[in-house]
């Protein structure tokens, strides 16, 4: 995901096709019975393209969650 910068700061630009009506990343946290479920959805393919800085940060965040005990399902 391209980062935009100006004198006011840094942000993710969007919306962009094809997901112009969705955020770049959706986060859902659900508690059902004794289980806590975290669902991360990358709505833009930019987040997943190898070599992109955003993909590297996204994958690093997923690895950190695994280190903290979260399981991939």
Burial label, 19 (beta-carbon count in 10 A; 0-12, 13-18, 19+): middle
Ranges of each domain in the chain? 24-68
Give 73's pLDDT tier (boundaries 50, 70, 90): confident
CA dist list (Å): 38 to 26, 62, 67: 11, 11, 15
0.75 cut: is pTM over it? no
Do residues 19 and 26 make contact, with C-beta atoms less than 8 angstroms apart?
no
Name the DSSP class of 20. T
pLDDT tens digits, one per residue of 10-69: 776 665 555 566 777 788 999 998 889 999 887 766 667 777 777 888 888 899 999 999
């Amino acid at each position: 995901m391209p980062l935009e910068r100006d004198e006011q700061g840094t942000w993710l630009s969007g919306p962009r096709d094809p997901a112009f009506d969705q955020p770049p990343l959706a986060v859902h946290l659900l508690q059902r019975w004794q289980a806590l479920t975290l669902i991360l959805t990358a709505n833009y393919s930019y987040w997943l393209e190898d070599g992109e800085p955003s993909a590297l940060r996204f994958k690093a965040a997923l690895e950190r969650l695994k280190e903290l005990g979260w399981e991939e399902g």
